[in-house]
């Protein structure tokens, strides 16, 4: 699911907004939230130009302990001068009882991320309501 203003999406991807998705862990393996988050980041890095900025940190989402980490990638929105700018991606992962991993990626150009962060924090809390029903 993508939650973004129409103007926040280009043919190259989402530049402003949040992506909410799920991923199944390897069958028969009981992985920790840390292992699942690392595997998700590695999977995303295979198909995107992505740099992990910090180690995943504990975060609570809907009463469940998840992980939070920041990533950086090229934004689909160029700067005013036409040059490529960096995008800040805030990845939040939440394990489910059935082995599924719910993840949210909050996205904005790096120079504007701080302006959107309070909204993204509120959205994270609201997304927590969706997590059990996802």
Residue 26 has pLDDT above 70, yes or no: no
DSSP per position, the chain:
-EE--GGGEETTEESSEEEEEEEEPPTT----HHHHHHHHHHHHHHHS--EE-S--EEEEETTEEEEEEEEEEE-SSPPTTS---EEEEEEEEEE-TTSEEEEEEEEEEGGGHHHHHHHHHHHHHHHHHHGGG-
Query: pLDDT value at position 130?
Result: 59
Residue 27 has pLDDT above 70, yes or no: no
Homologous superfamily assigned to 16-76+86-133: Mog1/PsbP, alpha/beta/alpha sandwich (3.40.1000.10)
At 109, list the tokens.
Answer: 């150009």
Query: pLDDT value at position 114?
Result: 95
Question: Are residues 92 and 64 in contact, defined by beta-carbon separation less than 8 angstroms?
Answer: no
Q: Stretch 58-81: mean pLDDT, rounded?
A: 92
Name the more confident of 50 and 58: 58
Does this model's pTM top 0.85? yes
Q: Stretch 106-110: mean pLDDT, rounded?
A: 95
Query: pLDDT value at position 106?
Result: 96
For 118, residues 6+ apart whose C-beta sits below 8 A from its C-beta are none
Name the more confident of 86 and 123: 86
Phi, psi of 122 (to 5 degrees): -65, -40
Q: Stretch 19-35: mean pLDDT, rounded?
A: 82
Q: What is the mean pLDDT of the chain?
A: 88
Task: Provide the residue count of the chain.
Answer: 134
Report the percent of the chain where pLDDT is more than 70.
91
Question: Are residues 24 and 99 in contact, defined by beta-carbon separation less than 8 angstroms?
Answer: yes
Tell me which of 3-17, 26-40, 42-56 is least confident. 26-40
Residue 1 has pLDDT above 80, yes or no: yes
Query: How far is Cα 25 from Cα 29, in angstroms, rounded to an integer?
Result: 7
């Amino acid at each position: 699911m993508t939650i973004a203003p129409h103007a926040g999406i280009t043919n190259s991807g989402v530049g402003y907004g949040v992506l909410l998705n799920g991923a199944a862990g390897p069958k028969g393996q009981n992985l920790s939230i840390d292992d699942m988050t690392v595997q998700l980041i590695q999977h995303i890095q295979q198909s995107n130009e992505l740099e992990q900025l910090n180690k995943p940190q504990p975060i609570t989402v809907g009463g469940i302990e998840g992980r939070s980490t920041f990533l950086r990638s090229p934004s689909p929105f160029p700067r005013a001068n036409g040059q490529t700018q960096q995008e800040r991606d805030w990845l939040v992962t939440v394990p489910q009882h059935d082995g599924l991993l719910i993840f949210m990626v909050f996205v904005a150009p790096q120079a504007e991320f701080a302006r959107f962060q309070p909204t993204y924090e509120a959205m994270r809390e609201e997304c927590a309501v969706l997590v059990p029903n996802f």
